[in-house]
Structures are given as structure tokens and as C-alpha cells.
A and B are shown apart, each in its own frame.
Chain A
Amino acid sequence: MQILIKTIGIGLLYLLYAYFCWLLVQIAWQYVPFQTNVAFLQIKQDVVPLWHYRMAFVVHVYATLLVLPAGFVQFNGYVRKNFTQIHRYVGWVYILVILGFASPSGFWMGIYANGGLSSQIAFCILALLWFYTTLQALLKIKNNDFSSHRNFMIRSFALTLSAITLRLWKTIFVYLFHPHPMDVYRLVAWLGWVLNIVLAEIIIFKLTKK
């Protein structure tokens, strides 16, 4: 019975994740073909003329989508055990895309973030931690340190999920309190990933205790 509830719970989590991935794909789809006067870029007109910002933006929007499939397979014990090759391939894509594209571009965009110094710092730290945890996860598995690899991947993916949680928090706060747009943005720039990393540490703590 407990196993059944657990399976259903995990199934629902996957569905929820799939739903939010779909929303993220739709957000990215607004920039296909690439145009600079839509969606988020409408309120980034001060930096849109900078070629390096545009490049970082394009890289971030498209490359980051390649990171999402990892959430479906990498934390699944059955896949890890029976389809080790899939785990390796998806893992390589996840790591290379983050280290080579998604995190550096995120850092560069963070420098120009809306909302002033506070959110600039928030996004830059997020990008640096994302890079660090992903790199550590790679180094640990190269040393066959499986449990550390697992822990760093939990941290890395918790930060990846900030793409979803940041936007979700924003929607919740707007619904509840109707705040000024940039106030809520400054808030979720931090809230979007700090809570995730706290939750990741709790999960790691529990797993290690087992």
C-alpha cells in the first residue's frame, strides 16, 4: 500500500515536471524565429542592442531546454541500473550544456538583470553555484565517488529547477498580494533558488542518514 502511494506520488511529480517543462518550452518558443521586441526582451530594450547580451540570451533560452530531459531519467533508479548508457548520455548532455552554455550565459545575463544590484547579485550567484555544483558532480563521478556525485547532482538539479520555481513564486505572489512588478521580481530572484538549495540539503541529509 505504501509502495503504491509512493509510486503514484512520484508519477504525479513527473507529470507536474512535464507540465512545467512544457510551459518553459512555450516561453522559449516565443523567440522562434528570434526577435527582440517580444516577451521578456520588450523590457530589456536598453541592453538588446548589445551583441553579447543578445548572444547570451539566445544561448540561454535555447540551450537550457536541453537540460530539462535530465529531470525525467537521471533520478530514476530503474533507468540508472538497467540503462546505464542512457544515464551517461543524458548526463553528458546535461553537464556540457550547463558548463559550456547555460550557466555562463546565465551569468552574463545576470550582470544586466532587471531590478538593480540585488537581483543582479542573485542571478550571478545562481549561475556560479549552478556551474560549481555541476562541475563537482562531474569530477566526483570521474573519481567513482557515487554518493558525492549523487549529492552534487541533487544540488545542481535543484538550481536547474529554479527556472520553474522562480516563475511559479512570481505567479503565486502576484495572485496573493498584487505587488509592484519589480518588487516581486527582486524577491523571486532570491527566493527562486535559495529555497531549492535548502530543500536539496535536507534531501541530501536524509539520504546520507539512511
Chain B
Amino acid sequence: MKTLTFVAALSSMLFACTEEKQNNKSANEIQSVKTEMAKPEMLKSYIGSFEAEVVNNHAKSPTYANKINVSVTSLKDGKITGYSLIAGNQQTFEGTYTVNAGKFDVKAKEPGTDKHDGRFEFSLDTIGKKVIGKWYSFDTTIDVTVRTYTLDEKTFSYDANLPLPEILVGMPFYDPKLEEAEGGRGEGITKDVLKVNPSVAQLSKAQVENMYKGDLEVLRNSIYARHGYSFRNRKMRYLFDNYADWYMPVSLNVENELTEIEKKNIDLLKRYENHADKYYDEFGR
């Protein structure tokens, strides 16, 4: 019996190993797909708010507006390809266009592999640098089935000095845990978030030790925001999508872009966040 358990344990370990390898492989694949995408024939990105127009289910409080990045990677011979990036999801689209009064009238579809895929209909104005249009979900039972958008062409560039907007001070957090208890609002942001910039200089212990957990979290995520990270986390996405004008979602993974200073600050901030999360209101230090 003992031998049997041992064999079982061993094989499960082996299995775990191979599984991990597979995961690595798929991660690499994603990486290569991403590098391919980084060198398209063209790359024009249009950024703006993706707003709910037809909402089926208000009860679940869907996100009414997220910042979307619609990027066009090729536009020729009546055909268009590109991808969208929103709320930590990237999806490609393909379609056709006709030229009308100097603008491109585009009809494009997402592959339909995701529950939230749909089709885009927009007017692309390459001279006025705007995209205006609508999006219709394939699945008509999802929470939001039609969205509208007016997007502006923007070019991403990393700038460590981009500040957190002052308007954030006093702003409550969206907290899914408190959704019922306090109408989806938790602890707010304080002016502490304006005192330091974790992308510019290495933070000292004295600078962060007196900060609330929420402020630490905003500061840490401001690093990711500067690199154009597309937030899956609804709490952070809400803040950066709606209040940081400079914020532009361009990537699902920015770990390789982080500077040494930023890595150290992320580590420091995260440690204080963890500690505050577990011990701030508990019996302990």
C-alpha cells in the first residue's frame, strides 16, 4: 500500500512538472504572438471610452464604461485587421471597409471564441484621427449587448513622470466585497498618493510606512498604468480608465518593461499592502 501511495505521489509530481512545462510553452506562444503583433504593417491605436448603450441586466451592476484601445494593424485592399484591448482582454478583429467622404466605413468581427465577442461598426477618420462607432455582441443574452465609442488616435510612450491625477483624492474605491453593504464603495484615496512617484525614485520605508493600504495599492498600480497595463482588476481599472487622462491600455503584461526602481518599489509597496491587509485591524502588530 505504501509503495502504491509513493508511486501515486511520484506520478502526480511528474504530471505536475509536465503540466508546468506546458504552461510555460503556452506562455511562450503568447509571447511570440505578442511580438508578432508588435510589428504589424501599421499600428494606429485609438483610445477612448467604451460605453454601454443597451444593458440587459442592471442587477449585476456591469461596468458601464471601460477605456478601450482599438488598434488597426492593416488597412488595404478593402480589408482591415486589428485588435482591441479592454479590461485585461485582448481580442483580434477582421473585416472590410468602404471609403466614404474620406473616411473608412468599417465592419469587422471578432473570432467568436469568447462569450463577449461581437462585431464592430465604425467610421475611421485617419485625417481627423478619430474612430466613432458601435459594437454589437454576438450573444444577445450577456449583460451589455451594444456599446458606443468615440476614440482618439494616440501613440503610447512610457513616461516615468506621469503624475497621478489630483482628482483621485477623496475618491472612494470600488470594492466588490462591499458591494451590498456600502453600495460598492469602500475606503477612499488620500492625498498621500500625490506625495511620491514610485516610477521616478526608490521609496524609503519612512515614505510608505504610514500610508493606508488603499493608497499603497494605487501607488503600486500607477507603475503598471504608466506602462500601459490593461487592468483586469476592476477597482484599479475604474480609477485609471476614468480619471487618468494619460492612461492608455496597450499591454496585458508589462513585467518585462519595469525599471529596476519600479521593481523595488513594487516589492516594497506590496509588502506594506500585505501587512496592512492582514494586520491593520487585527490583534497583532
Partner-B contacts on A (CB < 8 A): 20, 23, 27, 37, 39-40, 42-43, 45-46, 114-116, 167-168, 170-171, 174-175, 178, 180-183, 185
**Other contacts beyond A45-B268, A180-B211: 15, CB < 8 A:** A20-B283, A23-B283, A27-B284, A37-B271, A39-B278, A39-B284, A40-B284, A42-B271, A42-B275, A43-B205, A43-B275, A45-B271, A115-B209, A174-B280, A182-B210
Q: Does B245 contact A (CB under 8 A)?
A: no
Q: B263-281: which have CB < 8 Å to A?
A: 268, 271-272, 274-276, 278-281
24 sampled A-B residue pairs with Cβ under 8 A: A23-B283, A37-B271, A39-B275, A39-B279, A40-B279, A40-B284, A42-B272, A42-B274, A43-B209, A43-B272, A167-B285, A168-B283, A170-B283, A171-B283, A174-B280, A175-B281, A180-B210, A180-B211, A181-B209, A181-B210, A181-B212, A181-B276, A182-B209, A182-B210
Q: Does B180 contact A (CB under 8 A)?
A: no
Chain B residues whose CB sits within 8 angstroms of the CB of A167 once the complex forms: 283-285
Q: Are B281 and A180 in contact (CB under 8 A)?
A: no
Chain B residues whose CB sits within 8 angstroms of the CB of A181 once the complex forms: 209-212, 276, 280
Q: Are B272 and A171 in contact (CB under 8 A)?
A: no
Bound CA–CA A124/B280 (angstroms): 23
Bound CA–CA A68/B276 (angstroms): 27
Chain A residues whose CB sits within 8 angstroms of the CB of B209 once the complex forms: 43, 114-115, 181-182
Chain B residues whose CB sits within 8 angstroms of the CB of A40 once the complex forms: 275, 279, 284-285
One of B187, B212, B284 near A180 (C-beta < 8 A): B212
CB within 8 Å: A-B pair count: 57
Which residue of chain B has the shortest Cβ distance to A30 in the bound complex?
A: B284
Partner-A contacts on B (CB < 8 A): 187, 205-206, 209-212, 268, 271-272, 274-276, 278-285
Chain B residues whose CB sits within 8 angstroms of the CB of A178 once the complex forms: 187
CB distance from A197 to the nearest CB of B (A): 21
CB distance from B187 to the nearest CB of A (A): 8
Chain A residues whose CB sits within 8 angstroms of the CB of B274 once the complex forms: 42
CB distance from B22 to the nearest CB of A (A): 30
Chain B residues whose CB sits within 8 angstroms of the CB of A180 once the complex forms: 210-212
CB distance from B203 to the nearest CB of A (A): 12
Which residue of chain A has the shortest Cβ distance to B209 in the bound complex?
A: A182
Which residue of chain B has the shortest Cβ distance to A44 in the bound complex?
A: B205
Chain A residues whose CB sits within 8 angstroms of the CB of B284 once the complex forms: 23, 27, 39-40, 167
Bound CA–CA A182/B207 (angstroms): 11
Interface centre among A37, A46, A178, A181 (most CB of B within 10 A): A181
CB distance from B26 to the nearest CB of A (A): 30
Known: A42-B271, A180-B210. A174 touches B281 (CB 8 A): yes
Bound CA–CA A40/B187 (angstroms): 23
Chain B residues whose CB sits within 8 angstroms of the CB of A115 once the complex forms: 209
Q: Are B205 and A46 in contact (CB under 8 A)?
A: yes
Chain B residues whose CB sits within 8 angstroms of the CB of A42 once the complex forms: 271-272, 274-275
Which residue of chain A has the shortest Cβ distance to B270 in the bound complex?
A: A42
Bound CA–CA A40/B272 (angstroms): 10
Which residue of chain A has the shortest Cβ distance to B271 in the bound complex?
A: A42
CB distance from A113 to the nearest CB of B (A): 10
Bound CA–CA A96/B281 (angstroms): 34
Chain A residues whose CB sits within 8 angstroms of the CB of B280 once the complex forms: 174, 181
Bound CA–CA A170/B271 (angstroms): 20
Which residue of chain B has the shortest Cβ distance to A174 in the bound complex?
A: B281
Bound CA–CA A45/B264 (angstroms): 12
CB distance from A62 to the nearest CB of B (A): 16
Which residue of chain A has the shortest Cβ distance to B274 in the bound complex?
A: A42
Chain A residues whose CB sits within 8 angstroms of the CB of B211 once the complex forms: 180-181
CB distance from A111 to the nearest CB of B (A): 16
Which residue of chain A has the shortest Cβ distance to B192 in the bound complex?
A: A180
Bound CA–CA A86/B71 (angstroms): 79
Which residue of chain B has the shortest Cβ distance to A173 in the bound complex?
A: B281
One of B212, B271, B282 near A43 (C-beta < 8 A): B271
